[in-house]
């Protein structure tokens, strides 16, 4: 073998060795890339993922250290930057602010392209930005520099991968190519993790919303229901079932619902449902329902049919139901009360008209008219005060006497004798109040209360009905007896008081009233059927 041949052979061996080494290096890098790609794909969260990427980048490029700066958006929608390091402790960067968009960093953060430099300190882009004009003091020494933007397929910049070495000329085109591939994989992986996180957050949010909705429905005693328009499959929540008198485990199908609704309201309800399904009308209806226990309740149901684009019509209808029985009863009570009030107001006006007319017929002078009329209006007013105090629910007989007599006589001038007091209806209160007023006025003017020493005895007791055994009502026998007053004689003219007592009470309370003008004093005896007095 000639020398030239020997040289040539050695050269060949050397080249072969180089090629083998290069191949081995390429195989190592390829294996590393595969391993890293797999690790990236298996990443569970962004932090773990970017760490794998940076570690992989350091391994692939032979860098001394690497960093991944990436943008994140926090819950408040604010963007900020995080970073992950490899080959250097976190303390190596903690003293410095986040990298700015300097001439060196801009191509990376703006997603423009790769920056690769054998010596970054000699790069034309280096050292232009105030105040530091280069790396800050205490920064890791970086000469060889390789930076790749991490950009999604849609062109959004997620962040940048940065690698450095304190020696020059460390990163070749092969390293650059590998990093571009790594960055692309990182972008896809980060995107998919973010998409998954977003989906999970949305799911959690929906679950929260559903929880809140259930809480709101429960605390408002609102039942929830859903109806499949085609199959008429009906689902009802526990509260919804309870509104119809059903237990949580009871079957409650659409047919059961319809059957529960009061026959008088059923057509109206069916029309409303069809209207909501066909025309998208708001379903808002109140109807009576019969519970299995035979109770009648009022239910307020509201809902809406969900329009489906593919179908052209409604497929599902959903809504809420509320037991409004209490409210309905209150409304009915109120309506009754208002009607009753109207009736009373008008009747009171007629009463005043009647008192005026009759007082005018039985008094001789305007002064006498005014005196008597005012007294009677005040008596009527007193009775109304009493009734108002008792919420128009009835006043006791003793209360009527006390109220009407207080203006006429000291307590010791009137004796009471009775075993038990009696509750009276508002109607009986008004007419008895007037009667007591007339008796007292008469006693004060002409009878026992017109002289010192005269007294009135009021006695009442229950007595059985006259027609015993025929279901006749028990009666109240009440006597008003005047004593120690001037002698009395039957009046020559029949006054309002006598007429009210003898005719008025007889008519309104089915009473028998007897006025005896005893020479010792007036005795008024009333027999009042209890049924006409009670509330």
Q: Which residues bind other proteins (CB under 8 A)?
A: 339, 342-343, 345-347, 349-351, 353-355, 357-358, 361, 427, 430-431, 434, 499-500, 503-505, 507-510
Q: How far is the CB of 334 from other proteins (least distance, A)?
A: 16
Q: How far is the CB of 431 from other proteins (least distance, A)?
A: 5
Nearer to other proteins, 305 or 524 (CB): 524
Burial 186-203 (b: 16+ CB within 10 A, else e): bbebbeebeeeeeeeeee
Please provide the DSSP assignment of 259-312 as one string: HHB-HHHHHHHHHHHHHHHHH---EEEEEEEE-TTS-EEEEEEEEEEEE-TTTS
Q: Tokens 């009696």 appear where?
A: 422
Q: Beta-carbon neighbour count of residue 480 at 10 Å? A: 27
Please provide the DSSP assignment of 207-240 as one string: HHHHHHHHHHHHHTTEEEEEEETTT--EEE-HHH
Q: How far is CA 169 from CA 55, 85, 117, 164, 181, in A?
A: 21, 22, 8, 11, 21
Nearer to other proteins, 328 or 499 (CB): 499
Q: How far is the CB of 434 from other proteins (least distance, A)?
A: 7
Nearer to other proteins, 352 or 444 (CB): 352
Please state at what angle helix 3-41 crosses helix 173-219, rounded to 10 degrees: 0
Nearer to other proteins, 328 or 427 (CB): 427
Q: How far is the CB of 315 from other proteins (least distance, A)?
A: 43
In degrees, rounded to 5, the angle at the alpha carbon of residue 360 between the alpha carbons of residues 359 and 366 is 110
Q: How far is the CB of 293 from other proteins (least distance, A)?
A: 30
Q: How far is the CB of 351 from other proteins (least distance, A)?
A: 4
DSSP 131: T
Nearer to other proteins, 354 or 483 (CB): 354
Nearer to other proteins, 21 or 353 (CB): 353
Nearer to other proteins, 238 or 508 (CB): 508
Residues forming beta bridges with residue 330, ordered by sequence position: none
Q: Beta-carbon neighbour count of residue 450 at 10 Å? A: 14
Q: How far is the CB of 323 from other proteins (least distance, A)?
A: 29
Nearer to other proteins, 223 or 433 (CB): 433
Q: Which two tokens stand for residue 413?
A: 């001038």
Q: How far is the CB of 345 from other proteins (least distance, A)?
A: 7
Residue 239 CA to residue 241 CA, distance in Å, equals 5
Nearer to other proteins, 440 or 509 (CB): 509
Contacts of 72 (CB under 8 A, 6+ apart): 46, 79, 80, 81, 82
Please provide the DSSP assignment of 324-353 as one string: -HHHHHHHHHHHHHHHHHHHHHHHHHHHHH
Q: How far is the CB of 463 from other proteins (least distance, A)?
A: 21
């Amino acid at each position: 073998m000639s020398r030239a041949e020997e040289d040539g052979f050695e050269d060949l061996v050397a080249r072969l060795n180089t090629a083998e080494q290069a191949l081995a290096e390429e195989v190592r890098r390829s294996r590393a890339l595969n391993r890293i790609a797999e690790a990236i794909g298996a990443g569970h969260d962004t932090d773990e993922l970017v760490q794998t990427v940076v570690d992989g980048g350091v391994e692939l490029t032979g860098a001394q250290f690497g960093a991944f700066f990436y943008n994140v958006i926090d819950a408040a929608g604010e963007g900020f930057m995080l970073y992950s390091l490899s080959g250097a402790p976190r303390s190596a960067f903690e003293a410095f602010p986040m990298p700015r968009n300097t001439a060196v960093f801009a191509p990376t953060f703006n997603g423009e392209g790769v920056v690769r430099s054998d010596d970054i300190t000699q790069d034309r882009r280096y050292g232009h930005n105030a105040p530091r004009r280069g790396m800050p003091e205490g920064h890791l020494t970086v000469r060889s520099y390789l930076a790749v933007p991490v950009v999604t397929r849609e062109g959004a910049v997620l962040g940048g991968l940065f690698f450095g070495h304190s020696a020059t000329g460390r990163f070749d085109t092969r390293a650059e190519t590998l990093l571009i591939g790594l960055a692309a994989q990182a972008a896809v992986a980060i995107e998919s993790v973010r998409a998954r996180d977003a989906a999970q957050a949305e799911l959690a949010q929906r679950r929260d919303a559903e929880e809140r909705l259930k809480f709101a429905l429960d605390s408002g005693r609102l039942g929830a229901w859903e109806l499949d328009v085609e199959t008429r499959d009906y689902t009802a929540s526990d509260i919804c079932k309870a509104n119809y008198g059903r237990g949580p485990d009871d079957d409650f199908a659409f047919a059961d619902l319809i059957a529960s609704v009061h026959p008088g309201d059923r057509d109206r309800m069916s029309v409303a449902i069809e209207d909501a399904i066909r025309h998208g009308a708001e379903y808002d209806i109140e109807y009576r329902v019969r519970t299995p226990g035979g109770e009648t309740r009022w239910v307020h149901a509201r809902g809406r049919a969900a329009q489906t684009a593919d179908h052209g019509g409604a497929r599902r209808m959903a809504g809420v139901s509320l037991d409004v029985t209490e409210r309905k009863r209150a409304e009915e009570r109120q309506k009754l009360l208002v009607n009753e009030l109207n009736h009373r107001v008008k009747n009171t006006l007629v009463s005043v008209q009647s008192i005026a007319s009759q007082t005018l017929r039985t008094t001789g002078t305007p002064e006498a008219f005014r005196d008597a009329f005012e007294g009677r209006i005040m008596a009527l007013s007193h009775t109304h005060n009493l009734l108002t105090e008792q919420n128009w629910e009835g006043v006791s007989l003793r209360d009527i006497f006390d109220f009407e007599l207080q203006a006429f006589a000291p307590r010791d001038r009137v004796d009471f004798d009775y075993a038990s007091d009696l509750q009276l209806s508002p109607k009986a209160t008004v007419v008895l109040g007037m009667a007591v007023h007339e008796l007292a006025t008469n006693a004060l003017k002409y009878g026992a209360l017109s002289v010192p020493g005269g007294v009135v005895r009021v006695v009442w007791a229950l007595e059985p009905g006259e027609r015993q055994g025929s279901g006749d009502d028990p009666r109240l026998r009440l006597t008003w007896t005047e004593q120690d007053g001037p002698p009395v004689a039957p009046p020559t003219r029949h006054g309002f008081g006598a007429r009210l007592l003898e005719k008025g009470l007889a008519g309104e309370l089915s009473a028998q009233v007897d006025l005896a003008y005893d020479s010792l004093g007036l005795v008024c005896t009333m027999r009042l059927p209890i049924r006409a007095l009670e509330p």
